[in-house]
Chains A and B, each alone.
Chain A
Amino acid sequence: MALTFLDREHTVAGPGYSRWLIPPAALAVHLSIGQAYATSVYKNALVAHFDTSLTAIGIIFSIAIVMLGVSAAILGTWVDRVGPRKAMFASACFWASGFLVGALGIGTNQLWLVYLGYGFIGGIGLGIGYISPVSTLIKWFPDRPGLATGMAIMGFGGGALIASPLSSQLLGFYDSGFNPTDPTTVASGDAVMKLFVTLAVIYFLVMMLGVFNVRVPAPGWKPPNFDPAKITTKKMITANNVSAKNAVKTPQFWLLWTVLFCNVTAGIGILEQASPMIQDFFRGGDGVSAVAAAAGAGFVGLLSIFNMAGRFVWSSTSDYIGRKPMYAIYLGGGIILYFLLATFGNTATALFVLLAAIILSFYGGGFATVPAYLRDLFGTYQVGAIHGRLLTAWSAAGVAGPLIINGFLDAQGTPGELVASDYRLALYTMVAVLAVGFVANLLIKPVSDRFHESAGHTDAFLEAHDAESGGQVVSGRSS
């Protein structure tokens, strides 16, 4: 078969293969699926095209995030078994197909097809694409798991950074009546449809770069000068392993689930509404915003920079200060920042942007640090599958975050006429959500011994066995 090059057996790295080829492969995939964060650029165009509410259009994004979590949870073990190359290829197919079916829905004026395409099918592409390079990078960088997961997941945060301005320009290109710099114009549905088709082609090609470059390390491989004994001397880092089946029975898993849910709910509310939000915060009494639509789109991109940078910087920092203190900073700092944003955010554009940017850096950091937190608590045995199950928290937050924001805003007025005070109640609600997450993080302790696997059942044992027997790959072995 022509596609056998996708199999795991054909992706084992040979001697001398540089592990620094894996981060760009991961970035090619995550930068593509990170487009999910740029939906606010054409959100108002879809509201006008389908003549519906913000909430109805927000559901497209919510379905995609739900499917991300569901597919990551269900397909986590499949991704580990078939390897990152086949998983990335499948992700590219789903992601591009999602855009094409979504375009069909816009072209035929059927919103349910957009739900099915971008939301359901594209969401599966998101889930598979999200987890495949993460577990692979953890294996390539056992000496710096926070750095590794930060590198993998930072691309997802940076996707909008490219997609947001690109989408604005393409909408202007496809609709001569739409001016990205003029807030009074809205792109036509036809332009959004053509945008979806264009993005499908571009992202499929970019994701193929990841497919061709990614490799898994050979069994028994470790970085030069790496001593595994050094990393297990800290209290919150276990030397044992917990299976995915047992992990979901532990209070630690559900406390961490709550932590991720709260952190994501708070951040996603701002992200999903970013472009209209900054315009509404600085809308004058005459109904005209001091912030142009183009600057609003730029603001989405600026948040992406901080979202992306937070993933890399904070996750790498957690390698030094520990995961639990890092999450205390994300959630405790978030409480203060959200309160300041709600209360004083409309006094100066620079203050609004600064507060939102730091909030988004914590949001991104929360995502990137979670796999390393899981590795610390449950070991490396089935960390990919456990990570997939934990991402259901993201799905739940993908519903809760936009519902909170859009629910409050729909009750307050019409899009394009909202002002800063209309957001206040929603943002104070986010402060309460973050407080719940802060307490949940404080309650996390090391996992009880009764959940630990015996050494003979873990990958660490199997890989050591492989190395002793000549490093042969055990075909079909799952993790």
Chain B
Amino acid sequence: MTGRVAVAWTVVGVPLVCGIYNIIVRTAPLFGG
């Protein structure tokens, strides 16, 4: 069950984390970065 929980969170978590990273990189110029 633990493995299944880890897989489920990974499937939704990876795009989410990639999305957050992508947004931070793309909005860096807004803060002069």
A residues apposed to B, CB below 8 Å? 16-18, 20-21, 23-25, 27-28, 31, 155, 158, 161-162, 164-165, 209, 213, 278, 291-292, 294-295, 297-299, 301-302, 304-305, 349-350, 353
Assess the B26–A28 pair: CB atoms within 8 A: no
Selected from B1, B11, B12, B24, the residue in CB contact (under 8 A) with A18 is: B1
B12 touches A27 (CB 8 A): yes
CB neighbours (8 Å) of A304 from chain B are 23
A349 touching B5, Cβ below 8 Å: no
Taking chain B's interface residues, is the majority helix, strand, or loop, or is none over half, making it mixed? helix
| Residue pair A305, B29 in contact (C-beta under 8 Å) | no
A18 — which chain B residues lie within 8 A by C-beta? 1-2, 4-5
Residues of B within 8 A of A (CB): 1-2, 4-5, 8-9, 11-13, 15-16, 18-20, 22-24, 26-27, 29-32
Given A18-B1, A165-B22, A305-B23, are A350 and B15 neighbors across the interface (CB < 8 Å)?
no
Instruction: Report if A302-B1 is in contact (Cβ < 8 Å); known contacts: A21-B8, A28-B12.
Output: no
Within the complex, what minimum Cβ distance (angstroms) separates A293 from chain B?
A: 11
A295 touches B29 (CB 8 A): yes
Contact (A31, B23) CB under 8 Å given A21-B4, A213-B8, A291-B30: no
Complex Cα distance, B27 from A164, in Å, reads: 13
Could you say which residues of chain A place their CB within 8 Å of the CB of B32?
350
**A396–B12 CA distance with the chains assembled, in angstroms:** 31
Chain B residue numbers with a CB within 8 Å of A292 are 29
Q: Is the CB of A20 within 8 A of B27?
A: no
CB-based contact A350/B22 at 8 Å: no
| A22 nearest CB neighbor, chain B only | B8
Check A162–B16 contact: CB distance below 8 A: yes
A1 to B26, CA, bound (A): 48
Known: A292-B29, A295-B29, A350-B30. A305 touches B5 (CB 8 A): no
Complexed CA–CA distance, A209 and B26 (Å): 29
Contact at B20–A161, with CB atoms within 8 Å?
Answer: yes
12 pairs of residues in contact across A and B, judged by CB atoms under 8 Å = A27-B16, A31-B15, A158-B19, A295-B29, A298-B27, A299-B27, A299-B30, A302-B24, A305-B20, A349-B30, A350-B30, A350-B32
Judge whether A295 and B12 touch: CB under 8 Å: no
Chain B contacts for A301, CB-based, 8 A: 19, 22-23, 26-27
Are A165 and B5 touching (Cβ within 8 A)?
A: no
List the B residue with the shortest CB-CB distance to A154: B16
On whether the beta carbons of A295 and B20 are closer than 8 Å, the reply is no
